[in-house]
């Protein structure tokens, strides 16, 4: 059996995504148990320089014009023969807009088991273990990494990206990509993010609202608090999907990553897609009616309350404090 | 254009989640199943496409508790055909098993387009869409928010982090994982659902297998200790507000 651990490096428009470094750190933890190497798989076109800070024992680089930008079909076809031949103990992909699109297809095609939502992996007494985060972050699931080869789709949170970065450039081996013809998916163009009136990624003070806001009319309550605090209102996915806030105010996996001094999370349960975008905040203050809401696991301060009851009282008291 | 939407029912997270005696699964008797919210968006997107350019929408659900209501609600929204998959679902199923079963059903349904929710919150062996796509030999694109159809192709707006999106062109038939419909899922009145119960029919298809191969075995489920880090503020709304003002001052906001 091949004890190596492979990592599919995710990159978009010339930048390696943080999840790639998280996965390299996770792969190292597994490789300690298997005694194998950590091998980074880099797919691209004239993209070899992206390998320079990957903390891997080797980088295998597949270059092909059809791999210049991510498309699911080209990635799957490039990876299939390589994985089939290598049969590593584990192959890690991001549980992301890139990796999740490839992992399931490869699992079905290669008939290899797949563990998704994986937050942490490790070796314990010769056993390889995984921990996944399900039910919107409310439940953790643990088990043995299935074998003999497992695909693992990883979410951030269990390993620091810094642990997957290296000062020393790793050795890079160019490998031949298979023929990539008759592809069924192609990229037409990128659509740039809308430029909003404010860039929430740069705001020091955010009042964030989630499902607890209940309807659009209540948004005024959050706006009132933001006005007295000098903060900006942003929101989680359900609020933006309803059209109550513009997409430029979306915090989460497909929205912005924010790093304010204070993030006031009101009526936000704390699903992993949201939490991963706010962990760089200096202080998170969470208010939610559900005492089991996962947001309390990342908050510095928490209160179990209905945001709609709290908002008028809080706005009034802040106003008073400022006036006094 | 025939659009098929296979949906999943998942535990309602509003309810308290309780483990069963094994400690490796949720207590099924304490769980209330609801339509996965991304599947709700997939149904909405299918109906929006039908309203725009015609065609037929078929919604498929495994026969678990609550499935009929989900199917009739879809009919009230505009779905043309309803299919209930029967098997011993009470024993549990993973997405690999469900995808293999659905792949058989799709051979008969012959869809031009399959829309699934991009994920469900209980996915532990990958999401349904990519597995189903591969078992059916179709291409897959996920994280889709916005979709147009033209001449054997779908043009999908695929979301990336940071607000970036990509316009992907996909040859049909294909499976697409819907992140968000172009409009929020519509609300239907209970009376319309009741009416659909009288007029719409649910076709039943017995599916084989559902072997759990393809996913991991769980040895332990546990709740992460919420509030492990947070200092919890107790009291009335006024008291909480007063404490928060004090915290704002400590943090230098006021």
Domains of chain A, CATH where assigned: 2-175 (3.40.50.620), 200-323 (3.40.50.1220)
Residue B132 lies in a domain: yes
Q: What ipTM describes this predicted complex? A: 0.94
Residue B211 lies in a domain: no
Per the CB < 8 Å rule, is A318 touching B248?
A: yes
| Distance (Å) from the alpha carbon of A80 to chain B's nearest alpha carbon | 13
Residue B216 lies in a domain: no
Residue B117 lies in a domain: yes
In this complex, the residue of B95, B171, B220 whose CB is nearest that of residue A184 is: B171
With contacts defined as CB-CB under 8 Å, which chain A residues touch B122? 134-135
Residue B218 lies in a domain: no
**Do residues B182 and B249 share a domain?**
no
**Do residues B157 and B242 share a domain?**
no
Domain count within chain B: 2
Asked whether residue B16 carries a pLDDT value surpassing 90, the answer given is no
Per the CB < 8 Å rule, is A314 touching B13?
A: no
Q: What is the pLDDT of residues B143-199, one digit of tens each?
A: 999 999 988 999 999 999 989 999 999 999 999 999 999 999 999 999 999 999 999
Return all residues near A235 (Cβ < 8 A) that are at least 6 apart. A208, A209, A210, A213, A244, A245, A249, A250, A251
Q: What confidence category does residue A324 fall into, taking pLDDT thresholds of 50, 70 and 90?
A: low
Give the Cα-Cα-Cα angle A273, B41, A207 (nearest 5 degrees).
Answer: 40
**Do residues B153 and B199 share a domain?**
yes
* Whole-angstrom distance, CA of residue B145 vs CA of residue A12: 19
Predicted TM-score (pTM) of the model is: 0.94
**Do residues B198 and B241 share a domain?**
no
**Do residues B179 and B249 share a domain?**
no
Q: What is the pLDDT of residues B29-66, one digit of tens each?
A: 889 999 999 999 999 999 999 999 999 999 999 999 99
Per the CB < 8 Å rule, is A140 touching B214?
A: no
* Burial environment of residue A294 by CB neighbours within 10 A (0 to 12, 13 to 18, 19 or more): buried
Asked whether residue B97 carries a pLDDT value surpassing 80, the answer given is yes
Return all residues near B129 (Cβ < 8 A) that are at least 6 apart. A104, B114, B116, B117, B118, B140, B142, B175, B176, B177
On whether the CB atoms of residues A92 and A114 are closer than 8 A, the answer is: no
* Whole-angstrom distance, CA of residue A145 vs CA of residue A124: 11
> End-to-end distance of chain B based on CA atoms, in angstroms?
59
**Do residues B135 and B107 share a domain?**
yes
Among chain A residues, the shortest Cα distance to B157 is held by A191
**Do residues B200 and B235 share a domain?**
no
The CA-based diameter of chain B, rounded to the nearest angstrom, is 65
| Distance (Å) from the alpha carbon of B201 to chain A's nearest alpha carbon | 31
**Do residues B131 and B252 share a domain?**
no
Residue B239 lies in a domain: yes
The domain of B140 spans 2-206
Per the CB < 8 Å rule, is B161 touching A250?
A: no
Helix axes B237-250 and A307-323, enclosed angle (nearest 10): 50
Residue B60 lies in a domain: yes
Interface of B with A in 158-177 (CB under 8 A): 158-171, 174, 177
Q: Tokens representing A34?
A: 């298997």
In this complex, the residue of B184, B216, B249 whose CB is nearest that of residue A113 is: B216
> What CATH number should be reported for the domain holding residue B158?
3.40.50.620
Strand partners, B192: none
Q: Which of A306-310, A315-319, B208-212 has the lowest mean pLDDT?
A: B208-212
Give the CA distances from residue B217 to residues A129, A147, A157, B135, in Å, rounded to whole numbers and listed in that order: 11, 11, 22, 22
Residues A167-171, mean pLDDT to the nearest whole number: 97
**Do residues B82 and B122 share a domain?**
yes
**Do residues B235 and B179 share a domain?**
no
Helix axes B128-136 and B95-109, enclosed angle (nearest 10): 50
In this complex, the residue of B159, B216, B242 whose CB is nearest that of residue A97 is: B159
Interface of B with A in 42-81 (CB under 8 A): none
**Do residues B184 and B109 share a domain?**
yes
Per the CB < 8 Å rule, is A303 touching B17?
A: no
**Do residues B155 and B239 share a domain?**
no
Residue B250 lies in a domain: yes
């Amino acid at each position: 059996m091949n004890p190596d651990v492979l990592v599919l490096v995710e990159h978009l428009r010339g930048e390696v995504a943080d999840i790639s470094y998280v996965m390299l750190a996770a792969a190292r933890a597994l490789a300690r148990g298997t005694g194998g190497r950590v091998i980074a798989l880099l797919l691209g076109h004239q993209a070899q320089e992206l390998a320079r800070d990957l903390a891997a024992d080797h980088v295998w680089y597949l270059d092909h014009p059809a791999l210049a930008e991510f498309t699911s079909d080209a990635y799957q076809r490039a990876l299939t023969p390589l994985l089939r031949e290598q049969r590593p103990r584990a192959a890690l992909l991001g549980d992301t807009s890139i990796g999740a699109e490839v992992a399931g297809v490869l699992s079905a095609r290669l008939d290899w088991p797949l563990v998704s939502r994986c937050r942490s992996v490790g070796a314990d007494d010769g056993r390889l273990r995984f921990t996944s985060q399900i039910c919107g972050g409310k439940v953790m699931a643990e088990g043995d990494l299935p074998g003999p080869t497992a695909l693992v789709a990883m979410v951030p949170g269990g390993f620091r990206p810094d642990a997957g970065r290296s000062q020393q450039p790793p050795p890079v081996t160019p490998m031949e990509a298979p023929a990539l013809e008759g592809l069924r998916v192609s990229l037409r163009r990128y659509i740039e993010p809308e430029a909003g009136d404010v860039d929430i990624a740069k705001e020091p003070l955010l009042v964030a609202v989630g499902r607890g806001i209940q309807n659009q009319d209540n948004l005024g309550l959050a706006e009132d608090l933001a006005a007295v605090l000098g903060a900006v209102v942003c929101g989680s996915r359900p609020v933006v999907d309803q059209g109550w806030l513009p997409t430029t105010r979306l915090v989460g996996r497909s929205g912005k990553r924010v790093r304010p001094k204070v993030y006031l999370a009101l009526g936000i349960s704390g699903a992993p897609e949201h939490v991963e975008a706010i962990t760089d905040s200096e202080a998170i203050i969470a208010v939610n009616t559900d005492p089991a809401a996962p947001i309390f696991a990342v908050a510095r301060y928490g209160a179990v309350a209905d945001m709609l009851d709290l908002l008028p009282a809080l706005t009034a008291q802040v106003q008073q404090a400022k006036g006094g | 254009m025939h659009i098929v939407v296979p949906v999943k029912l998942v535990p309602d997270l509003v309810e308290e989640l309780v483990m069963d005696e094994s400690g490796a699964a949720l207590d099924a008797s304490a769980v209330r199943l609801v339509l996965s919210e991304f599947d709700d968006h997939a149904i909405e997107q299918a109906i929006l496409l039908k309203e725009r350019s015609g065609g037929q929408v078929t919604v498929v659900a495994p026969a678990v508790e609550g499935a009929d209501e989900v199917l009739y609600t879809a009919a009230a929204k505009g779905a043309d055909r309803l299919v209930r998959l029967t098997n011993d679902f009470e024993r549990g199923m993973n997405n690999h098993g469900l995808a293999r079963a659905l792949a058989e059903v799709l051979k008969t349904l012959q869809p031009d387009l399959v829309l699934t929710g991009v994920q469900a919150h209980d996915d532990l062996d990958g999401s349904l869409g990519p597995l189903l796509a591969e078992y059916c030999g179709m291409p897959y694109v996920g994280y889709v928010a916005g979709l147009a159809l033209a001449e054997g192709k779908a043009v999908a707006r695929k979301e990336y982090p940071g607000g970036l999106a990509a316009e992907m062109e996909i040859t049909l038939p294909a499976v697409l994982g819907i992140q968000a419909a172009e409009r929020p899922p519509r609300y239907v009145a209970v009376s319309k659902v009741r009416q659909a119960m009288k007029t719409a029919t649910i076709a039943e298809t017995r599916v084989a297998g559902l072997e759990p191969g393809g996913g991991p075995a769980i040895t332990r489920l546990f709740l992460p200790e919420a509030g492990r880090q947070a200092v919890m503020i107790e009291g009335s709304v006024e008291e909480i507000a007063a404490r928060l003002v004090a915290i704002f001052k400590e943090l230098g906001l006021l």
